[in-house]
Structure formats: structure tokens, C-alpha cells
Amino acid sequence: MAENKDSEAQDRTEPATPRRLQKAREEGQVALSREVAGLGSLAGGLLGLMLAVPFAAEMMLGFRGMMARAHMLDPAAAMAGFAWLGASVALPVALLGGAGAVVATLLQTRGLVSAKGLRPRLSHLSPLAAIKRIFGVEGAIEFLRTVIKLGLVGAALWWALGDAGQLPGLMQLPAAGLLVRAGHAALDLALAALVAFAGIAVIDWLIVRQRHLHRLRMNRQDLKEEMRESEGDPYMKARLRQIRQARSRSRMMAAVPKAAVVITNPTHFAVALAYDQGAGAAPRIVAKGADAVAARIRATAEEARVPIVSNPPLARALFRLDLETEIPPEHYQAVAEIIAYVWRLGGGGRAG
């Protein structure tokens, strides 16, 4: 079974076509990076934290007042007040963090929302498959991604914290100065974490997209089947083309007995012209053919006593024109002379 899968994967050497990508998208299969969603959640959470800073200051003042008169408050009311103060800071962070994750996910899927990816798969419930995922190639890739992520985030935080020797000096600062320095340090930490996660998200998205495209690669048979589905079966198209040609030839041969004259090469080409003297229009080509078809046109014309005139240059020139088209002006004189000759002949049959 594994050998069959490996050989099938090796056969898939062609990149996925737009139709295959669209079908995979309809099935809910898109390149989706969890790190990009995590970056959106982090960015939204930081924005919520910045918006919650004024509420945090008010919370500290309110918390201080409540602690000063804690002996006068009802325990239930005090707990409710503490919960409200905490929610005023935590709620914007949670809401904007969740909104950031949703927006980042929708940007990756280009607005696709599908529940097909949530369908349970029995293969995921197999302990053997789970062990293969953990200790196989996917597990190794996931472990490598985690190590790189921790390394980048750790380096960014180390850079943001700066020199640890400044700690004794910071302890000598007044409370207001310490708060300012702590705020700057927190901002540096947040920006460093955001930059590190942005780099991780970009790298992870490129990897996820490459694996997604590789998983959708096709073999030659897939390309043939897709072409057959999109453009129709080549055998059926050829068969339908033959049927249309046969019907067109049948209609063409039915028009030969009504022609005014058949101009030949004399054996290679035959062109039947129809002309209605009262209509005032130029003669038009109602049948034409080469070799075997030309022989059939001549035989049909002889049976119907339609005049046959041999004029190789004119026959070759008219053969290049489409059926049911009027002859061009440059051939008016030659065709008029032939039709006049046929009329003077006064009967059907073969003319010299």
C-alpha cells in the first residue's frame, strides 16, 4: 500500500491546473497557515490592550478605592465590582484578538467559509496513522517549525529586554518613572514579539502554500481526464464531426440536381453553381468536392441532366470558396459566359 502511494506521488509531476485548484477550493482545501492566524490574533490582542490602557488606569484607581473601603462593602458586590473592572480590560483584548484571527483566516481563504473540512475522517482516528504523523515527515517538519519559532521569538524578546545590568538602576527610580520605563519596555516587547511572529507567519505561509500545491499535483492521466471533462471526449467530438460532415455532404448532394451548371477540373474538382435569373443575385456555390466527392457530384449531375462544363482554372478558383457563398466579382465574366453558353446549348448533358 505504501509503495503504491509512493509511486503515485512520484507520477504526479505536473502542476495543478486552475480547474483542479478551484475544485479543491470548493471542497474546502486551501492553503491555511495557523501561524498567520496566530499573528492576526496577536495583533488584535495588542490593539485591544492599547485601547484598554485608559480603562486599566481607571481600574487601578477603582481597585484602590474598593480596597480602602473593603470592610464597608458587601462581599458579593465587591466580587462583582472586581469582575467588572477585570472584564473592562480583558474583554477588548479577547474580542479584538478573536477578530484578528478571523480576519487573518478569511484573508488566507479569500473569504471562503466551508464546513467540509470539519467532516470526520476515519484515517485520523487510527492510532497507527497518528503515530506516523507524529514520528513521520510531518512530525519532523512540525518540530522544526516549533524550534525555529521559539528561536526567533526568544531572540526578539532578548533584543527587546536589552541589558540586564540596568535592573539595579531601574530599582532606584521613583514609582512614576518606573511605570514609564515599564510601559516602554512592554511596548518594546510587544513590537518585538509582533515582528518575530510576522516573520514566522510569512515563512510558514510560504511552506504551507508550497505543500498545498505539491499535494494537488497531477499526473498525465489526470490532465487527460480533466481535458475530457472540460472539452468533451475527443472520440465523441470526432464522431460528432463525422456525423455533421456526412449530413452536410448529403444536403450538398441533394442540391446538385437543382444546380444551373457544374464546373469541373475535369476530374479532380467539381463545383455546382445555382443561379436564379429572376432574383438578380450572383450565382452561388451549392456543392463542391475533390476526387471521389467530385466524381459523385458529376455522376449526380449527369443523372439529373445538369450541364457539366470543364474549366480547370475556374474550377480551382471556385473550389477555394465556401459553400452557399456567391461568386466574387472577379469571376462574374467567366461564370456569365459559361451560363450563357449552357443556355444557348438549350439542354442538359456534358458540354465541351
* Model pLDDT for residues 47-85, shown as the tens digit of each residue: 887 777 666 656 655 556 556 665 565 666 666 666 776
For residue 1, is pLDDT > 50?
A: no
pTM of the model: 0.49
Burial class (CB in 10 A: 0-12, 13-18, 19+), 329: exposed
* Cα–Cα distances in angstroms (integers) from residue 134 to residues 32, 124, 209, in the given order: 20, 12, 21
For residue 314, is pLDDT > 80?
A: yes
* Cβ–Cβ under 8 Å, residues 97 and 48: yes
* Cβ–Cβ under 8 Å, residues 141 and 210: no
Count other Cβ atoms within 10 Å, centred on residue 250: 9
Output DSSP code: residue 111.
T
Angle at 52 between CA 104 and CA 188, to 5 degrees: 70
Q: Sheet holding 284-290: strands in order across?
A: 284-290, 269-274, 261-264, 308-310
* Cβ–Cβ under 8 Å, residues 326 and 284: yes
Amino acid letter at 338?
I
* Cα–Cα distances in angstroms (integers) from residue 163 to residues 67, 159, 193, 339, in the given order: 37, 9, 18, 108
Cell reading at 57? 488606569
- Per the model's pLDDT, the better-predicted residue between 255 and 171 turns out to be 255
For residue 268, is pLDDT > 60?
A: yes
In the structure, what pLDDT confidence band is assigned to residue 200 with cuts at 50, 70 and 90? Answer: confident
Q: Which residue has the cell 535592573?
A: 167
* Model pLDDT for residues 273-306, shown as the tens digit of each residue: 988 776 667 888 889 988 888 899 999 988 888 8
Average pLDDT in the chain: 75
Structural domains of the chain, ranges and CATH numbers in brackets: 2-227 (no CATH), 239-345 (3.40.1690.10)
Amino acid letter at 85?
L
pLDDT in the model for residue 271: 92
> Which range is least confidently modeled, 122-131, 189-198, 213-222, 293-302?
122-131
For residue 12, is pLDDT > 80?
A: no
In the structure, what pLDDT confidence band is assigned to residue 272 with cuts at 50, 70 and 90? Answer: very high
Distance separating alpha carbons of residues 325 and 259, to the nearest angstrom? 14
pLDDT in the model for residue 36: 87
* Model pLDDT for residues 325-351, shown as the tens digit of each residue: 888 888 888 888 888 888 877 644 444
pLDDT in the model for residue 139: 66
Diameter of the chain measured on Cα atoms: 133
* Model pLDDT for residues 136-169, shown as the tens digit of each residue: 666 677 777 777 777 776 776 677 666 544 545 5
Bridge partners (DSSP) listed for residue 284: 274, 326
> For the residues of 244-272, what is the DSSP string, one character each?
HHHHHHHHHHHHGGG-SEEEE-SSSEEEE
H/E element, 288: strand 284-290
* Model pLDDT for residues 89-119, shown as the tens digit of each residue: 778 788 888 898 889 888 888 877 776 655 5
